[in-house]
Amino acid sequence: MSEIANVPKSYDFYNSHFPQPPQEERERAAQIAIDGLAGLDKELMATYAFSPWQRNFWITVAILVVAGFAIWPVQVGSSLVGFLVVLYGLTLYSRSRITIMGLTSTARNENILPVEIDDLPIYSILMPAFDEPEVIRNLVRAVDAIDYPKERLELLLLLEEDDNSTIDSLIGVELPTSVRVLLVPPSEPRTKPKACNYGLQFARGKYVTIFDAEDVPQPMQLRDAVELFESSPDDVACLQARLDYFNYTQNLLTRFFTVEYATWFGCILPGLQRLKMPIPLGGTSNHIKTNLLIDLGGWDPYNVTEDADLGIRLVQRGYRTLVLDSVTFEEANSDTVNWIRQRSRWYKGYLQTWLVHMRQPRATLGHMGPRGVLGITTVIGLTPALAAVNLFAAFLTVLFFIGVPASLTGIFPPWVVYVGSGMFFFGNAFVILTSIMAMIRMKKEYLALTCLVFPLYWLLMAVAATKAVYQLIVRPSYWEKTQHGLTDESAE
C-alpha cells in the first residue's frame, strides 16, 4: 500500500477502483450541494454572519455601551450588570423547566409497532471523512455491527476527491457490498455538510442518517428508527438518537464530556420534545426522511453546525423531531486544546444559526411562534452567548468580593447583589444537581462525583465561547476540524 501511496494518482485512477457516477451527474450534485438551499431561500444560508441590519444593530449597541460607560460608568455599569442578572435568571428558569420536563418524561417511545424484516426499506448511511486514513477499520466494523439486511443497507463513504491519504488507505481492501465510495469534487466551502449534500443526491434509501467514521451505533438503531418512523404521524420528519462516549474513563475532560452529553440527550432533548420546542440535532445519528430532506435543500454547507440549523428549519416547515431511544457511541475529545477547537466551532455554529434565523425575526416568529423563537434563543443563541459572558461575569464576581473601587460601588445595587448572589449559588447548585439526576436516569451514577467539579468545565466552555465569538466576526465559515483517534485504547 505504501508503494501505491507514493505514486501520484489521478481521478481516473481512483475511478477505476471506486466507480463514480457519470461526470454530468457529479457536477450537478456538486452544484446542488453548494446551492441547493440557496435555491429555496438565500437568506437561510450562513454565507455571511450578520445581515446588514444585524451588523448595524450590534455596532450601535457596542458604541452606545462603550460611550455610555465612559460618560456614566455607574449608571451604565449597574444597568449592564442588572441586565446580565435578569438574563441569567430567565435562562436558568427556562433551563430548569426544560430539564424537569425531560426528567419526568418517559424514557421509551411508546406504541411502536414492529416492522417485519421483509418490510424494511432501503436505508442510506452517509459517512463523511476527511484526512482520516484509519477510517477503513471503523467502517468495516460499523457495517458488520449494524443489524439490518445488508441488501437494503447503503453506506455512502464521502471522501474529498483530493484526500489522497484516506482514499489510498482503501485501495486493495475488499469493502463490504453495501459500501459505496463517493468522491466529492473539490470546491469551496470544504465542509462536512457540503459533502453530505453531495452524498444525499445519490442516496437511494427511504431514510438517511449520518455517522462519523469513529461512531459505534447500537446494532438495532436503524431498525428502531424505521419502527418509530412507521409508527409516528407524518409530521415526524427526523429522529435523533442519543450520543454517548466509549472513552469516558480516559481523563477528567472525557468524563465532563460524558456528563454533558448524558444531560443533553437524557434530559434536555426529551424536555424540548415535550415542550414542543425546536430540537437542535446532534452532529451524527440523526435519521431523516430522504425525500423531505432533499425538498428542504439539504444541509447548509456554510453553517458549521448544520445539524442544529436543520433542526430549526424542520420546525419552520411544520415538522417534528423525536428522540430515538438508541445510543451511538462516539469518541470523546480527550485533549483540552482539541476540545476548545471543537467546542468553539460548535458555539460559532450556534451563533451563526441563531443569527441566520433572526435575520427576518417577524417571519421566524410567524413560522415558529413565540415558543419556538424563545426555544431557539434560549437553547441556540444564549448557550454560547452566556458561556462567553461567563468569563466577564466571573470577573465581576471576583471584583465584587475583592472590593470595587469606591467610585464604582454603585454598579452593584443591592437587588443585583441579592439576586445575583442567589443565582450564583443556587443556579450553579441546581445545574450540578440536575446533572447528577441525569446521571442516575442514564445509569451513569459513577459520574456523580465528576458533576461536583463541573464548574471547571464551564470555565473551559467560557474560553471556547469567547473564541467562537471572535471567530464569528473574523472567520465565520472556517471549519475548525476536530482531531479524532486520541483515545487511549485502554480506556475503551
Interacting residues with other proteins (CB under 8 A): 100, 103-104, 414, 418, 421-422, 425-426, 429, 432-433, 436-437, 439-441, 444-449, 451-452
Decide whether 46 or 447 has the Cβ nearer to other proteins: 447
Decide whether 241 or 396 has the Cβ nearer to other proteins: 396
Please tell me what DSSP assigns to residue 488.
-
Q: Mapping DSSP to helix (H, G, I), strand (E, B) and coil, where does residue 44 land?
A: helix
d(CA 4, CA 369): 57
The minimum distance between CB 444 and other proteins, in angstroms, equals 8
Decide whether 441 or 467 has the Cβ nearer to other proteins: 441
d(CA 131, CA 111): 43
Q: At what angle do helices 23-40 and 192-200 cross, to 10 degrees?
A: 110
Q: Residue 9 corresponds to which cell in the numbers above?
A: 494518482
User: Which DSSP string corresponds to 247-308?
Assistant: -TTS-HHHHHHHHHHHHIIIIIHHHHHHTT---PPPSS-EEEEHHHHHHTT---TT-TTHHH
User: Which DSSP string corresponds to 419-462?
Assistant: HHHHIIIIIHHHHHHHHHHHHHHTT-GGGHHHHHTTHHHHHHHH
Number of neighbours of residue 196 by Cβ within 10 angstroms: 25
HSE-CB for 125 with a 13 A CA cutoff = 28
Decide whether 20 or 96 has the Cβ nearer to other proteins: 96
The minimum distance between CB 202 and other proteins, in angstroms, equals 46
Whether the CB-CB separation of 297 and 39 falls below 8 Å is answered with yes
Do the bridges between strand 320-330 and strand 236-245 make them parallel or antiparallel, or are there none, so unpaired?
Answer: parallel
The minimum distance between CB 100 and other proteins, in angstroms, equals 7
The minimum distance between CB 452 and other proteins, in angstroms, equals 7
Question: What backbone torsions phi and psi does residue 213 show, to the nearest 5 degrees?
Answer: -60, -35
The minimum distance between CB 424 and other proteins, in angstroms, equals 10
Q: Mapping DSSP to helix (H, G, I), strand (E, B) and coil, where does residue 356 land?
A: helix
Instruction: Report the alpha-carbon angle 248-342-132, nearest 5.
Output: 80
Q: Residue 394 corresponds to which cell in the numbers above?
A: 466571573
Which of 174, 180, 221, 178 has the alpha carbon at shortest distance from 198? Answer: 180
Residue tagged 466551502 (cell numbers): 189
The minimum distance between CB 274 and other proteins, in angstroms, equals 14
Number of neighbours of residue 209 by Cβ within 10 angstroms: 25
Decide whether 327 or 440 has the Cβ nearer to other proteins: 440
d(CA 322, CA 305): 19
The minimum distance between CB 105 and other proteins, in angstroms, equals 11
Q: Residue 287 corresponds to which cell in the numbers above?
A: 435519521
Question: What backbone torsions phi and psi does residue 114 show, to the nearest 5 degrees?
Answer: -70, 150
Residue tagged 420546525 (cell numbers): 315
Decide whether 397 or 421 has the Cβ nearer to other proteins: 421
Decide whether 356 or 436 has the Cβ nearer to other proteins: 436
Decide whether 95 or 444 has the Cβ nearer to other proteins: 444
d(CA 93, CA 423): 11
The minimum distance between CB 441 and other proteins, in angstroms, equals 7
d(CA 143, CA 72): 64
The minimum distance between CB 268 and other proteins, in angstroms, equals 15
The minimum distance between CB 426 and other proteins, in angstroms, equals 7
- As beta bridge partners, residue 324 has 241
Decide whether 57 or 426 has the Cβ nearer to other proteins: 426
The minimum distance between CB 433 and other proteins, in angstroms, equals 6
Decide whether 63 or 433 has the Cβ nearer to other proteins: 433
The minimum distance between CB 339 and other proteins, in angstroms, equals 25
Decide whether 418 or 470 has the Cβ nearer to other proteins: 418
Which of 184, 178, 227, 232 has the alpha carbon at shortest distance from 205? Answer: 178
Decide whether 234 or 445 has the Cβ nearer to other proteins: 445
